[in-house]
Structure 1
Amino acid sequence: MATLTAKLRDAGYTVHSRQLPAVGNPNPPSDLSADIAAVRALVEEAIGDEGNDVVVVPHSWAGILAGSALTGLGKKEREAAAGGGRKDPYVHAKDANIFYNDLPESEKQHWFSQLQSHSLATFYTPATAASWKEIPTSYLLCEDDQAIPAAGQEAMIAGVKDLGGVIEVTRLKASHSPFLSRPEETVEWIRRAAGEEGI
């Protein structure tokens, strides 16, 4: 590896490499998520704020990881996403209406100003479990949600049911943030989910 790295650097390339968490680790990870995250972080570091072109050269085991780790990091995908508010390795909200479309304008802008960046990598890291298969779930379906439209929420609910999950659905005409626009109804829903009757 050192020879290859040296030759590439001599040819004018910047080289990024690291040992994977699953290799030589006295406390090895139990699934792929740590290795996938490590590969993705390394590629995002290489891309940098400048949007550098990157050639990924996985060897052996790393080839398996690259398939999961590089999703969305292709040059075309990054260029297409640039208009949607993505700046690797973060996602930034660009439109207050996505989360707060049913709030008065002043409140909408206030809460929008409080939003922070979100790690892009976390959107591509697989979940490690599905507790909803074991624990009964209450779901508040926000009908005017522009971040996750009602149809998308309904598809997720159907997926839970198809896999044997128990899910009780309450519909509310609200945006993505009902705790702001419909706080009373949201509190009542939580209390009912907690087992209170007559709410």
Structure 2
Amino acid sequence: MTDGNPDRPVIVLVHGAWHRPSTWDATRAALAGLGYETRIATLPSAGTDPSPTASMYDDAEAIRREVDAVDGPVVVLAHSYGGIPTAQGLTGADNVTQLIFLSAYLLDDGESMYSRHGMDAPADTSGTFPLPENPGLALYHDVPEDVATQAVADLVEQSLLSFTGTVTRAAWHDIPSTYIVSEDDRSIPTALQEVMAAHATTTRRWAGGHSAFLAAPERFAALVDEIIRSR
């Protein structure tokens, strides 16, 4: 999935917490069918062996490396937690033409995930952050059953430290952005998404749950294509 239409930007995909790059496979295939080359930013805060210890800033550096490796225009598409290191890491990335946030944490300067929820960060930031009590319901309630079962099996550990990092300069201040609000999200409440979406240049709506890229990859890829072409 590396050959795309040279007239279109490369899309760098950023997964969320507890996930690995393979979560994007179906949507990558759909985007390839529309002529897009895609690249994946692998976030070191998510992993299995050993338990991850990386910070949000480490994730931000991983995203920036993927972007800097592209010789040409880039659109970055970030999901869920991935919105935080995306905003942190891409200030001054001159080849990024657009940011797309799907059901994502879109934070402003000085905010962390903890502060966004009105909570103090824990004094001890070692260890991992637990999955939702029922990840299948929280993350994949509208995903086909076989796909959702495999997605839950593929989840990995997430460093607690990554959830405490504070954004120092959010890239959406300088780069045009679109926020896709998921209207039936069981993980990030739609009302909270609406608040964060106010930071974005434009807003789109998805009549589904937290993981559109698994629930309906072709339809989601078509929405991404429409967003990119609308600029």
TM norm structure 2:
0.44
Are 2:182 and 1:142 aligned?
A: yes
Match of 1:182 in 2: 216
Q: Which secondary structure state, in structure 2, belongs to the residue aligned with residue 194 of structure 1? A: helix
Given that residues 141 and 172 in structure 1 are in contact (C-alpha distance below 8 angstroms), is that contact kept between their aligned partners in structure 2?
yes
- Stretches of structure 2 that go unaligned for 5 or more consecutive residues are 1-56, 59-114
Q: CA deviation at 1:149?
A: 1.3
Match of 1:194 in 2: 228
Report the Cα distance in structure 2 between the residues aligned to 1:91 and 1:149, rounded to whole angstroms.
19
Specify which structure has the higher proportion of strand. 2
Larger Rg: 1
For 1:92, the equivalent position in structure 2 comes to: 130
Identity among equivalent positions (%) equals 28
Name the Cα RMSD after superposition: 2.7
Bigger fraction of residues in helix: 1
Task: For residues 37-86 of structure 1, give each alpha carbon's deviation from its aligned partner in whole angstroms, at most 9, with x where no partner exists.
Answer: xxxxxxxxxxxxxxxxxxxxxxxxxxxxxxx9x82247xxx9xxxxxxxx
Deviation at residue 168 of structure 1 after TM alignment: 1.2
CA distance in structure 2 between the partners assigned to 1:139 and 1:122 by the alignment: 22
Give the letter for the 2:127 counterpart.
P
Q: 1:132 to 1:146 in 2, by over 3 A?
A: same
- Partner of 1:140, secondary structure, is strand
User: Which letter does structure 1 place at the counterpart of 2:176?
Assistant: P
Alpha-carbon distance between aligned partners in 1 of 2:202 and 2:143, rounded to the nearest angstrom = 27
What secondary structure is seen at the aligned counterpart in 1 of 2:194? helix
| Residue 108 (structure 1) aligns with | 148
Structure 1 residue 196: Cα displacement:
5.8
State the match for 2:173 in structure 1. 133
| Greater RCO (Cα-Cα under 8 Å, separation 6 or more) | 2
Hey, what does 2:122 align to over in structure 1? 72
For 1:132 and 1:104, locate their aligned partners in 2 and report how far apart those are by CA, in whole Å: 33
Please point out which of 173, 189, 197 is paired with 2:207.
173
- Number of residues of Structure 1 aligned to a counterpart in Structure 2: 113
Does structure 1 retain, via aligned residues, the 8 Å contact 2:181–2:206? yes
Is 1:120–2:170 an aligned residue pair?
no
Instruction: Tell me how far apart the structure 1 counterparts of residues 189 and 149 of structure 2 sit (CA, whole Å).
Output: 21
TM-score (norm 1): 0.50
